[in-house]
């Protein structure tokens, strides 16, 4: 829950945080903010969806680094997700029409806007590697509890340049 609050503050309450750096390349931007209480820096590489494919008009995809070194992938939408009994949804993605990859167990959050996030290190590393090799990705969230399927297409143009500046970028 703490990660979600921090990410929401980065995206929506930026005046509350001191800006360290903002950079952009292609369709991706880097936002780095410093927490004025403890001077910790939180980095986020993010992009808005190029198009909604079905339900979910707004889409935002972000790779975020936290001061303790943890990396998290956030997928934000404008549709509220219920999640299963453990507050989780299923997620899939497909880079450049290649083989789809699927993971269950993305956690559901609501701070800053409805979202799902993955904080499993192996999932984040795999997504990072796949995204660096592609030009576009289709992301999908399946919420079995509500029957909603959220799907967006994101450009990966600029992802490598921007995400490579993240402190937690996999090697």
Domains, the chain: 2-163 (2.60.40.1880)
- Reported as a single tens digit per residue, the pLDDT across 89-127 is 999 999 999 999 998 788 887 655 678 889 889 999 999
The tens digit of pLDDT for each residue in 37-59 reads: 888 888 899 999 999 997 767 89
89-92 CB contacts, 8 Å cutoff, 24+ apart? 89/116, 89/141, 89/142, 89/143, 89/144, 90/141, 90/142, 90/144, 91/116, 91/118, 91/139, 91/140, 91/141, 91/142, 92/139, 92/140, 92/142
Whole-structure pTM value: 0.82
Residue 152 is encoded by which pair of tokens? 């967006």
């Amino acid at each position: 829950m703490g990660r979600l609050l921090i990410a929401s503050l980065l995206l929506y309450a930026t005046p509350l945080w001191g800006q360290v750096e903002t950079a952009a390349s292609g369709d991706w931007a880097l936002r780095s903010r410093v927490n004025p209480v403890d001077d910790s820096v939180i980095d986020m590489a993010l992009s808005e969806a190029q198009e909604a494919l079905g339900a979910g008009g707004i889409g935002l995809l972000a790779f975020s680094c936290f001061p303790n070194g943890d990396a998290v992938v956030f997928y934000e939408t404008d549709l509220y997700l219920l999640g299963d009994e453990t507050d989780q949804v299923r997620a899939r993605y497909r880079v450049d029409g290649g083989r789809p990859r699927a993971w269950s167990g993305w956690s559901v959050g609501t701070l800053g806007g409805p979202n799902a996030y993955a904080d499993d290190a192996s999932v984040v590393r795999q997504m990072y590697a796949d995204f660096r090799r592609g030009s576009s990705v289709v992301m999908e969230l399946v919420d079995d509890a509500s029957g909603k399927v959220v799907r967006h297409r994101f450009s990966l143009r600029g992802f490598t340049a921007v995400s490579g500046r993240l402190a937690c970028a996999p090697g």
